[in-house]
Amino acid sequence: MLTVNDLMTLIPNTVTPDTPLRTIVGVMKSQGCRQLPVLDNGRLVGIITDRDVRLVMNSPIVLHGRWQDEELLDKVTAESCMTPNPVMVTPDTPAAKAAEMLALYKFGALPVVEAGTLVGIITVTDFLEYLAEELAGEESS
C-alpha cells in the first residue's frame, strides 16, 4: 500500500509565527513552494499559503495604496494570516486517504507529523509527479 511517506517532501521549509510576509514571500519564491508550515518552538501551529499572502496584499476589505505594500510586507506576520491548527496526516496515512483529503478540503498541502514533530509535507504537486511517473511507465511498457 502506498503511503504518505512514499510521496511526501521531507523536512520542508518552515517559518515561525513572527516571520514577516516579506520573508515568507522570499522563501516561497526562492524555494518554489506555495505552502509553509508555521512552527513555534518546533511545534506545528499553522500553515501559510500563497493564497493567504495574496489575500493580505490584495484585500477587498482593506483599501490601501500600492505604496503601503512595503509596510504590509514588513509588519504583517505569519501568525496574523496563517491557518491555525491545520489538518495533518502521519507518514503511515494511506496515500489515497491523503489525496481524498486534499480534494475534499480543496487544500494544496497537508503537513506530515509524527509523534508531534513535523517530518514532511504532502502536496498536490507530489501526487501529480507520482501520477506522471506512473503514466510514463505505462506508456513505455
Interval 99-135: pLDDT, tens: 999 999 999 999 999 999 999 999 999 999 999 999 9
Taking the C-alpha atoms of 86, 49, 56 and 116 in order, what is their torsion angle to the nearest 10 degrees? 30
pTM: 0.89
Q: Contact at 8 Å (CB) between 35 and 112?
A: no
Q: For 24, what's the count of Cα atoms within 13 Å in the CB-facing half-sphere?
A: 33
First to last CA, the chain: 22
Total number of domains in the chain: 1
Domain CATH for 108: 3.10.580.10
CA 98 to chain centre: 14
Question: Does pLDDT of 39 surpass 70?
Answer: yes
Give the domain range for residue 110. Answer: 4-140
